Structure 1
């Protein structure tokens, strides 16, 4: 077995010699830098790390990481990642995808990856638009979004990536913002989780959907509209002046004022509570803040470990015999035929 002891690296060690080709000002640059800063902090090894992507602006990512990488086909990164992890379980596998790649053509693959609980990290860049193909509306685009494919405004109810993940059986769900300093801590928590770690990252598309997240992502709005959750800490925001309480009659969360720092009425975040996680990701923004950070983290046995254990049990005490395997069942022999002119 190879020695996988963590080694000392610097963010620069994770950069390739490839020209980074995103639009100037794209949020993908910030995510790339956050990932490159994260790798040294988790003690990852470049030769033991694989980035797998599908199709979309985000899917250029493997070219810019000094690791192994697979740029696959639309929506199928989870299938390729599953094969990689089963072939070599020691590899650190990261899936890079977008809201269109993962939730439209790749929705079925994403769902099965989450329910199987493969030990990998999924970073879903959500810009609520199809950027690579020139600005069509995507599964996460809001009602009323005007685009080349919805010139009168979208009438589709948008998908909620974190709600989708929880409904698919995900055991780790988190949210971050492309330019926020806390993104590295979210990525580190995802890496520490054993199983599929699903991270939605709000990513600004400066060309086709600029500032769509500004109501909560922009600095002037952040203090009053962002709720960074922390396990065991009260769910407070707006500089500690507001919090979330549970309304037992309505079986729902409600916003309460905090007076003189008294948080006795405020709920404490429990990242192992799936019901609370559902409520946090479903909060309508405007009435409530945007929940960010590690929203749900409750590990369960992984798919790859179960497959490895099953194969070991099936092969225990047996001697490999390839010829016997090839010869079993119905076989026949092709005789040499005479050469005919």
Structure 2
């Protein structure tokens, strides 16, 4: 950990090729600022990304990084964290990558509660493949492959996380730089799996879920005096509220015990030697 690191230390020399105005710029900047604010440095940070526009983020951030395959970023991040617990592991994905082909991995990553951070750039569309409906697209959202709308209700990732036993659930907006940074920072500081769904507008293919829409519709929980993020029932009501969308920490279990502590994992899994005790090998087999 370093106390004098700046967020610009996390910028690589590769120039982003996202569309001008893409919400992913703000999402990434907030991630870098949050990492710097928590005292992390590029030398102790590992960024894992999947496929989609979000998958490019490991190239644009100066840290250890791995660009995985579609929907598989979370198991890679889990392996990295267990192999080297001293690393700050941040997994980045999109709504298509995380809530479609990667949905099964999402559920199990949530329930395992490995101490890492998962940031999902939710633009409610498949942007990299030119604008198809994603798991979080509106039911009536018209695209080239769903000209009459998908006619399927969108996935509620916050509800899925809560039902899976999440210890930290938050939502942010890429355009609100200060709040977004603050929310991601809280996820990093949380002891366990920190999940942040980020509204990151696609300016090229989604003309419905725009910057203006989120600015006008989002309710910031920081301004709700009676909201208690440690109250799971209150969090459930907010997450299932069909009339409002919230920004902030919706739920945090302050008594969260990360996976490594529950299993008494006090050394790197990468250091387990040949002929290790059977109980140690059982721990490895759980992931394969």
Provide the TM-score with structure 2 as the length reference: 0.88
Mapping 1:323-338, distance limit 5 Å: none
SS at match of 1:275: helix
Contact 2:46 2:87 in 1 (8 A): yes
Cα separation, 2, equivalents of 1:24 and 1:323: 52
1:275 is aligned, of 198, 213, 233, to 233
What is the match of residue 25 of structure 2?
29
Mapping 1:1-341, distance limit 5 Å: 5-180=1-176, 181-214=178-211, 216-218=213-215, 221=216, 225-230=217-222, 235=224, 268-285=226-243, 289-299=244-254, 300-309=256-265, 322=275
Question: Which one has a bigger Cα radius of gyration?
Answer: 1
C-alpha deviation, 1:308, in angstroms: 4.3
Name the structure with the higher helix share. 2
Contact 2:260 2:266 in 1 (8 A): no
Which consecutive residues of structure 1, in runs of 5 or more, have no partner in the other structure?
237-267, 313-319, 326-341
SS at match of 2:24: helix
C-alpha deviation, 1:38, in angstroms: 2.0
Q: Which has the higher contact order (CA 8 A, sep 6+)?
A: 2
Evaluate the alpha carbon distance shift between residue 322 and residue 168 of structure 1 in structure 2; reply closer, same or farther with a 3 A threshold: closer
What is the match of residue 252 of structure 1?
none
Cα separation, 2, equivalents of 1:10 and 1:118: 26
RMSD: 2.3
SS at match of 1:309: coil
Cα separation, 2, equivalents of 1:99 and 1:130: 8
What is the match of residue 281 of structure 2?
none
Contact 2:202 2:210 in 1 (8 A): no
Count of aligned positions: 273
Contact 2:203 2:210 in 1 (8 A): no
Cα separation, 1, equivalents of 2:275 and 2:212: 62
Which consecutive residues of structure 2, in runs of 5 or more, have no partner in the other structure?
279-288
C-alpha deviation, 1:6, in angstroms: 2.6
C-alpha deviation, 1:324, in angstroms: 11
Evaluate the alpha carbon distance shift between residue 310 and residue 93 of structure 1 in structure 2; reply closer, same or farther with a 3 A threshold: closer
Provide the TM-score with structure 1 as the length reference: 0.75
